[in-house]
Chains A and B, each alone.
Chain A
Amino acid sequence: NAGVTQTPKFQVLKTGQSMTLQCAQDMNHEYMSWYRQDPGMGLRLIHYSVGAGITDQGEVPNGYNVSRSTTEDFPLRLLSAAPSQTSVYFCASRGRAAVEQYFGPGTRLTVT
């Protein structure tokens, strides 16, 4: 049982490049979400999903796309990277019957 895994751990992009941050969980959790953490701030919700095929926007969705084709995977796509997207990105999952939201180890992204 690996929990929530994220790849890559670190990434450097140039402005305008696109990429996908991967998130997977093996706990059969219905709910998955993406947060970003900027220096000196708490986490802010980007997008979330309450089940396969269902996604919705969080507080800061602009510049990001998500899809949820399976229960296990919830990738986050940066369409055209900007320096303002330099941040640490965390994926989380939660089962309906549980209380804890499990967080992945994070992806540190730098956009130059």
Chain B
Amino acid sequence: GEDVEQSLFLSVREGDSSVINCTYTDSSSTYLYWYKQEPGAGLQLLTYIFSNMDMKQDQRLTVLLNKKDKHLSLRIADTQTGDSAIYFCAEEDSSYKLIFGSGTRLLVRP
């Protein structure tokens, strides 16, 4: 079945760039999403990319999609302590069902 995988943990210094990676298996995915979750909170949609795009930039966020390798990445420029959270990658199939990765915990050190 479909599967989405992410690395578990990333630690960066404040001001550096963070790159969170994700691989997925469903080649028929329509949209791929990045969500942010802070402790005890719900999910906040950060950005998304349509499956026929290679890149999307939104202020400090850059999403890269390599369809051939089924690899998605999220780059956060000038990472701040407020960016510390868990980041989930999710793919959406043609029935709008979301398949989530297990999340990457980002720790930003001052």
Contact flags (1/0) for B30-48 with A, using CB distance below 8 Å? 0101000000011101001
Cross-chain contact A45 with B42 (CB below 8 angstroms): no
Cross-chain contact B96 with A42 (CB below 8 angstroms): no
Cross-chain contact A42 with B103 (CB below 8 angstroms): yes
Cross-chain contact B31 with A50 (CB below 8 angstroms): no
Per the bound structure, the CA–CA distance linking A58 and B92 in Å amounts to 13
Interface size, chain A (Cβ < 8 Å) = 22
Beyond A43-B88, A99-B31, A100-B45, is A33–B97 a contact (Cβ under 8 Å)? yes
B90 contact set on A, CB distance < 8 A:
42-43
Per the bound structure, the CA–CA distance linking A50 and B33 in Å amounts to 20
Interface size, chain B (Cβ < 8 Å) = 20
Beyond A41-B102, A43-B88, A99-B48, is A106–B42 a contact (Cβ under 8 Å)? yes
The answer, yes or no, to whether B100 is at the interface (CB within 8 Å) is yes
Chain A interface mostly helix, strand, loop or mixed?
A: strand
The answer, yes or no, to whether B64 is at the interface (CB within 8 Å) is no
Chosen A-B contacts, 30 in total, with CB atoms closer than 8 Å, are A31-B96, A33-B98, A35-B98, A35-B100, A41-B102, A42-B4, A42-B88, A42-B90, A42-B101, A42-B102, A42-B103, A43-B88, A43-B90, A44-B100, A45-B97, A45-B99, A48-B96, A48-B97, A50-B96, A90-B43, A92-B98, A100-B45, A100-B48, A101-B96, A101-B98, A103-B42, A103-B43, A104-B42, A105-B41, A106-B42
